[in-house]
A and B are shown apart, each in its own frame.
Chain A
């Protein structure tokens, strides 16, 4: 009888806990995304290295976590040519506590032949951006993959 009661109590507590984790986890992820993905949070620059003639693609972000739990943020940018050959890739990870902001930056060196004028041309390759946001000690999260440019 005691075992049965203990089991019933355990799974009832676990059901409530699961629902709470689900709601709080999703709320945390979406409250972070709603504020982090705004025009002011991210900055992308393309500058020429006059010595080597290569181009430096720099990425800077200063996202704020408005959620109730800390999150970890992983960001990766990869550039490919039209034959799917890797041109450059870099990534960075940061940990943002609840209610605080954290900067994240990295740069990619792009050989000069891939940059026409002062802009990366979509018809010469494509850019893949991967953003992973995780919460609850990295046990729950979402990954956003964006492929921009190129032909498909």
Chain B
């Protein structure tokens, strides 16, 4: 296993942008900003940033691993499928405002003087379409891999 240097550079950039910056941002930006988003939008910013940093770590690991194996090796093929599934998870993460488990439901809510205002976006259609795209991509990778194995 030989790790490509450009994969390490890409992974470091991803770690800085998606993990270190989100984890450091509460100390870099004013607390009023976070309070305003949490109160007005009903989004748990700390939880969102923690989830984002986790995605950053997972993405960096995948980049390093993909750079370590030949594309058409057994491991490279498995990583290619993992990569596509991971892309789908990122799409769901964005559409669900950080709550991957909501599968395309995004919720924003605010509360003031006893009044509650909640908005639920139903974007499951986009999640289903993205899942079909990923399934087609995986099917193509399988056919490609089988063809190369035959040669």
Contacts and interface: CB of A to CB of B under 8 A. Distances in A.
Contacts of A7: 136-137, 139-140, 143
Contact of B120 (A17, A22, A143): A143
Contacts of B126: 18, 21-22, 140
Given A10-B136, A18-B126, 12 more contacts: A11-B133, A11-B136, A15-B133, A122-B114, A136-B125, A139-B125, A140-B125, A142-B120, A146-B116, A147-B115, A152-B111, A152-B114
Contact of A18 (B115, B122, B130, B137): B130
Determine the main DSSP class of B at the interface with A: helix
B133 A147 contact: no
A152 B129 CA distance: 40
Does more than half of chain A's interface fall in helix, strand or loop, or is it mixed?
A: mixed
Contacts of B9: none
Contacts, number: 76
B36 interface: no
Contacts of A134: 122
Contacts of A14: 129, 132-133, 136
A146 B133 CA distance: 36
A10 B137 CA distance: 9
A5 to B, nearest CB: 9
Interface of B: 111, 114-126, 129-130, 132-133, 136-137, 139-140, 143-144, 147
Contacts of B144: 4
Given A18-B133, A145-B120, A4 B115 contact: no
A143 B116 contact: no
A52 interface: no
Q: 9 tightest A-B contacts by CB?
A: A11-B136, A147-B116, A7-B140, A18-B129, A139-B125, A145-B118, A143-B120, A152-B114, A140-B125
